[in-house]
Structure 1
């Protein structure tokens, strides 16, 4: 197995960390922008997109700060993380994304996907 490429992105978002956290950590919040529908049972989140279903295991979360998940069908133990960062001086809020891709093409595809999803998230938050 080739090692995957880790990439990180930062999206400024005009919302409070606690509100943003609801949208990145709860099934109802994630259903608004990340997938068509999201359910969770214990540590397993089920994401539905137009008939396809993916499951992810919750690895860790910290209230108002971050959530880290791993796709169950990923043998490499790679994760994706959404982390809320607040600038100490300006109090500007950013959502930091950490994800993995198979190769450079997948990195640009992954980044485009995240950009589209975060644009939906900003729309839902009314900060677009």
Structure 2
């Protein structure tokens, strides 16, 4: 078994609340089926998603994500082995980024799991600074 953590960003302009809800429902359904956990951030323009799971299961989920026309320009930020999941109880945690930059970084930092690799935490917090 080879547990991995994968982070990507993508562009998704002008999504409505129903679109986000649909994406989250799909994420949770497929992630439960494949045993994948993680979180999803959306800042109104871009997604950042952290996925955790076995390599073959992550590949299956990522292949589905790449076919989703609601976003484009998928760019991998991290893809690395890990010994334990940082988000074992989150099929797909959605964290909204609506506050001003300082408030959103602080609130996000409070919500991220303590065991998250510091480098991955920094990547996620830096994403929260984007407008």
TM-score range, shorter chain: 0.3 to 0.5
Question: Which has more radius of gyration?
Answer: 1
More helix by share: 2
More strand by share: 1
Query: What's the TM-score, normalizing by structure 2?
Result: 0.38
Query: What's the TM-score, normalizing by structure 1?
Result: 0.39
